[in-house]
Amino acid sequence: MTFLRKIVPIIAVLWLAQAHAADLGRSAVEAELLKQDSIYQGQGQDRDKGYTVDRPLASYADGFPSEFARVFGKLTPQDRWLDIGAGEGQAILDYYTGGYNNAQLQTGSLGDKRAQAVAMSIEDRRSALWQRTTSTLPFNQIQYFAGKRLREYSSDELGHFQLITDMLGGFSYTNDLALYMEKVLDLLAVNGSFFTVLQDVHREDGSNAPYYAGSPFLTEIADADGAELKVCSWLKRIACVEVVCEPRAHWKPPLESYRVRKVCNDVKVPPLTPLHYQAGTPPERRYQVPAVEAGSSQPTNVH
């Protein structure tokens, strides 16, 4: 009995210490997320120089996998395109006004009808050019959603899309990468494509080092056994998708670009536990694949 009386307080102290450490960890992440929100909301001279809000459509063709030009060029008036992290919506404005000079992306004369396009941004950055362009187009031909994160929208609000793009948007900034991919793939139509990139990440072929000496890669994943899991490899574990990963070494910092094509509806995204988040443009993020419990199994990629 004396032994039990001694051991119970020790267990209680250990539990309280672990709980306190967990609380401190949550507080640190919450503080970084608040810093990140202040980056999102910066305007004018107060905007972080690394936070780009006017990226043109030509940069999409330059940064995304090579298949982007072909997929984009096949959009029809019956199709829908969602651009996440659109900022001022410059890429969509370029599409509608012909304000880009890239032969790969020419989809016909300016008189041709375009796909319906939806811009999404946490902060409302619609410009006078956006307003003027909207006024010349049919109702809801281009739309702008702001004020919420992707996960806060329902599929009823947004509908489904044949093309979703994210050029250094939510895929690079979210704290919950698995949830973000679940939402994107829920909005993507079967045979539709999601194009995105990550800056300064360990590429599929493992041939690159972090861009900044002495610093880690910006996004890192540890597998359930603690070994490194590259982002490309994690994406390829998602059920019901086909994934292509391509380097874009001429960007500074360099990119790895991704095309994720949805091939069936039974999508299953492998879970990730967020471990670290440090605000930035983009932020530093660390994830861990949780251990598989007895009697369960990891989702497999079903085509």
- Give the pLDDT score at 303: 41
- Give the pLDDT score at 31: 87
pLDDT tens sequence across 58-115 = 999 999 999 999 999 899 999 999 999 999 999 999 999 876 555 556 554 444 578 9
| Alpha helix segments (H runs only) across 66-122 | 67-73, 90-97
Does the residue 35 lie in any domain? no
Question: Could you give phi then psi for residue 106, rounded to 5 degrees?
Answer: -65, 125
Does the residue 167 lie in any domain? yes
pLDDT tens sequence across 190-205 = 999 999 999 999 999 9
- Give the pLDDT score at 17: 47
- Give the pLDDT score at 110: 43
- The one-letter amino acid code at 90 reads Q
pLDDT tens sequence across 4-48 = 455 545 545 445 544 444 454 567 778 887 876 777 777 776 676
Q: Return mean pLDDT, the chain.
A: 86
- Give the pLDDT score at 101: 54
Residue 126, class by beta-carbon neighbours within 10 Å (0-12 exposed, 13-18 middle, 19+ buried)?
A: middle
Does the residue 281 lie in any domain? no
165: containing domain? 52-213+229-271
The pTM (predicted TM-score) of the whole model is: 0.85
CB atoms within 10 A of CB 164: 26
Q: Which among 64, 72, 277 has a CA at the least distance from the CA of 163?
A: 72
Does the residue 24 lie in any domain? no
Cα atoms found within 13 Å of the Cα of residue 294, Cβ hemisphere only:
0
CATH number of the structural domain spanning residue 237: 3.40.50.150
Does the residue 109 lie in any domain? yes
Residue 300 scores a pLDDT above 70: no
Question: Could you give phi then psi for residue 270, rounded to 5 degrees?
Answer: -60, 135
Say how far apart CA 69 and CA 60 lie, in whole Å.
9
- Give the pLDDT score at 19: 47
Considering Cα of 239, then 243, then 247, then 248, what sign does the dihedral take? negative
For residue 248, the cross-strand partners are 255
The number of folded domains in the chain is: 1
